[in-house]
């Protein structure tokens, strides 16, 4: 399967769904990281162009940890808006990734870039298959609209999970991915009083307590007409990886 993760900023995917992404990659699926903004506001000391270049390199190194393909949309940090230009950029990303499953931010997150990127994914992922919407890539040809899952929020504030992924065996990989974003430790401490590490083990143990496993990431499916599903193509925390796609399972599975 093709799995698309969409984050508003460099490091968002790794923080909120890195363990899940690592499990997909471990199971042999093609993983894409789409980053909407360039992170050019993410420093107290460096000018926008310089920190944006640093953060693009960090995003690439984070994706490289699991062999994910990076799609860089390069919108300005903290100024992501739902416009025609933005939708076309997202639709082009959907066509490049051609996902079976897509992950995005909650539509009610703490940061407007998070909420708006999540809304655009949720509203527009099906538009990748519409021929009269023209972008650089051809329309997708999948019969089914991708499953969409909203990722957790910082510290789980205002987010009620419906489904969990056990990341006990992939937390170390998640930590390695997040550590690729070394420029953000100081920035997060400046604005929130916490380093990036605070967004890793503590939330994973909290969600694991809810899910009945040592470490977990939490999600909520986006159900709507044309995107209803009875089963979830989510990874499992064993070396065997993810269950086979529905069309490959026997009647007894």
- Written as six digits, the tokens of 21 are 């992404």
- H helix or E strand, kind and range, residue 12: helix 12-26
The whole-number pLDDT of residue 133 equals: 98
How far apart, in Å, are the Cα atoms of 173 and each of 54, 64, 154, 200, 233? 21, 11, 20, 11, 21
Ordered strands of the 147-151 beta sheet: 69-75, 30-37, 2-7, 101-104, 147-151, 216-221, 163-166
In this structure, the dihedral spanned by the alpha carbons of residues 109, 112, 115 and 120, taken in order and rounded to 10 degrees, is -170
Whole-angstrom Cα Rg for the chain = 17
- Tell me the torsion sign for CA atoms 221, 157, 160, 62: positive
| pLDDT per residue of the chain (253 residues) written in tens, 0 to 9 | 999 999 999 999 999 999 999 999 999 999 999 999 999 998 988 999 999 999 999 999 999 999 999 999 999 999 999 999 999 999 999 999 999 999 999 999 999 999 999 999 999 999 999 999 999 999 999 888 999 999 999 989 999 999 999 999 999 999 999 999 989 877 776 666 766 677 788 999 999 999 999 999 999 999 988 887 788 999 986 543 444 343 333 333 3
Q: Does domain 2-248 have CATH number 3.40.50.10320?
A: yes
Residue from 150, 152, 102 nearest 126 by CA: 102
String of DSSP letters for 165-227: EE-TTTHHHHHHHHHT-TTHHHHHHHHHS--GGGGTHHHHHHHHHHHTSSSEEEEEE---TT-
Q: Give the start-to-end residue ranges of the domains of the chain.
A: 2-248
The whole-number pLDDT of residue 237 equals: 65
The whole-number pLDDT of residue 186 equals: 73
The whole-number pLDDT of residue 185 equals: 77
Vertex 240, ends 238 and 241: CA angle to 5°? 75
> Structure pTM?
0.91
Cα(178)–Cα(62) distance, integer angstroms: 7
Please report which residue ranges of 27-64 form alpha helices under DSSP H: 48-64
CB of 173 within 8 A of CB of 23?
no
């Amino acid at each position: 399967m093709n799995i698309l993760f969409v984050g508003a900023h460099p490091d968002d995917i790794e923080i909120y769904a890195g363990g899940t992404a690592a499990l997909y990659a471990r199971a042999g699926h093609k993983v894409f990281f789409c980053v909407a903004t360039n992170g050019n506001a993410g420093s107290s000391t460096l000018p926008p162009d310089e920190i944006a270049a640093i953060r693009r390199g960090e995003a690439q190194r984070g994706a490289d940890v699991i062999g994910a393909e990076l799609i860089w949309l390069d919108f300005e940090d903290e100024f992501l808006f739902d416009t025609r230009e933005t939708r076309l950029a997202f639709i082009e990303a959907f066509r490049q990734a051609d996902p079976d499953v897509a992950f995005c931010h909650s539509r009610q997150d703490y940061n407007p870039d998070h909420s708006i990127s999540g809304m655009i994914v949720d509203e527009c992922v099906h538009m990748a298959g519409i021929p009269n919407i023209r972008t650089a890539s051809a329309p997708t040809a999948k019969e089914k609209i991708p499953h969409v899952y909203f990722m957790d929020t910082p510290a789980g504030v205002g987010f009620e999970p419906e489904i969990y992924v056990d990341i006990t065996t992939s937390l170390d990989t998640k930590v390695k991915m997040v550590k690729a974003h070394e420029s953000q430790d100081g920035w997060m401490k400046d604005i929130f009083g916490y380093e990036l590490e605070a967004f890793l083990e503590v939330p994973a143990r909290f969600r694991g307590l809810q899910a009945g496993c040592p470490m977990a990431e939490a999600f909520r499916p986006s159900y709507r007409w044309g995107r209803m599903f009875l089963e979830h193509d989510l990874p499992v925390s064993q070396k065997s990886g993810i269950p086979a796609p529905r069309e490959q399972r026997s009647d007894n599975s």
